[in-house]
Structure 1
Amino acid sequence: MILRKATDSELPIIWEILQAAIAQRKQDGSRQWQDGYPNPQSIQEDLNNGWAYVLTDGTNILAYAAIIFGIEPAYNTIEGQWLSEGEYVVIHRVATSAASKQKGIATYLFKMIENLSIENQTYSIKVDTNFDNIPMLRILDKLGYTYCGEVYFRGSARRAYEKLLPK
């Protein structure tokens, strides 16, 4: 499998994957992503900023994530405490294709992001998720992310996690 930057031509496929994830969140009873976000404009912004990444099997897009090597302003204020100060990678808008569900693809995606971070000499990953996104909470726990407290996006509290990577 290959983790690479997405191309503009892949926006329709990425949006299809995200729409399925939005529907799944709703079916699971989650409030996450039920307010018009993410949307095609947020994905276009990811593409424009170089944040849009896809995990492929060489032919098909299996997963999408916004991977940001930089500062997330919402992370400047946390009710709790981050494990580290300094440079970090942010992961947002993670979604797997319907065909990839229950196959460990999201876990594999996170491992690939960890490798990408190390390759770029960034040894901290920060991520947040809704309190009711059970699949994501399980992945973060399974991969050793530490719960650090709460951050706020669009007026809502989110669980914030960090993982320190080996140097």
Structure 2
Amino acid sequence: MLDKDIIWEIIRQSIERRRIDGSTQWQNGYPNEQTIENDISKNFGFVLTVNGEIAVYVALIFNDEPAYSTIDGAWLTTGEFAVIHRVAVSEKFAGKGMVKKLFDVIEDFVKSQNVQSIKVDTNYDNLAMLKILDHKGYTYCGEVFLAGGIRKAFEKVLI
């Protein structure tokens, strides 16, 4: 069973890290503890561990992101997809390449499920995530409206 309290603390650390970095993402009460409880109850919540310790949290959702049905731009594909949401790294593991490793694990898992692509969005000012998406080969597709704001939307075709 996932430890919701540890995950929530990691989310809180990430909210604070974004604030310190000057990002407006996650500064309006989302995500909150209920968001994480919902992820876990719907089996969307996953963790990457290092020596049994939670290093990264992510919500991985298949074929279900209503906000993605409307995009100012165009997705690369129209088939099945996975969505990456709420990536948060424990302060202890920040800056150690854990999110790149997470994306590798997710991409392998999504391919193993014969799902065509991964879609993800982020804030314009989340420079760390924008850099990771570029490094991992995600294509900028346009803008979506999510969580009260305009987000940059990306997709990577896997199969």
What per-residue deviation string (whole Å, max 9, x for no partner) do you get for residues 122-163 of structure 1? 120000000000000000000000000000013310000000
- Taking the aligned partners of 2:6 and 2:155, their CA distance within structure 1 comes to 29
**TM-score calculated relative to the size of structure 1:** 0.93
Local SS of the residue matching 1:36 = coil
What per-residue deviation string (whole Å, max 9, x for no partner) do you get for residues 89-148 of structure 1? 000000111111111001100111001101111120000000000000000000000000
Trace 1:11-30 onto structure 2 (pairs within 5 A). Answer: 11-30=4-23
Runs of 4+ in 1 over 3 A off after TM superposition: none
Q: Structure 1, unaligned stretches of length 5 or more?
A: 1-6
Local SS of the residue matching 1:75 = helix
| Residues 1:52 and 2:17 aligned together | no
- Taking the aligned partners of 2:32 and 2:148, their CA distance within structure 1 comes to 18
Q: Percent identity?
A: 50
What per-residue deviation string (whole Å, max 9, x for no partner) do you get for residues 5-60 of structure 1? xx24x100000100000000000000000001111100000011110000012410
Q: Structure 2, unaligned stretches of length 5 or more?
A: none
Aligned residues: 159
- Taking the aligned partners of 1:46 and 1:70, their CA distance within structure 2 comes to 15
One-letter identity of the residue aligned with 1:34: Q
- Taking the aligned partners of 1:109 and 1:86, their CA distance within structure 2 comes to 23
Aligned with residue 90 of structure 1, among 66, 70, 83: 83
Aligned with residue 114 of structure 2, among 103, 109, 121: 121
| Residues 1:154 and 2:137 aligned together | no
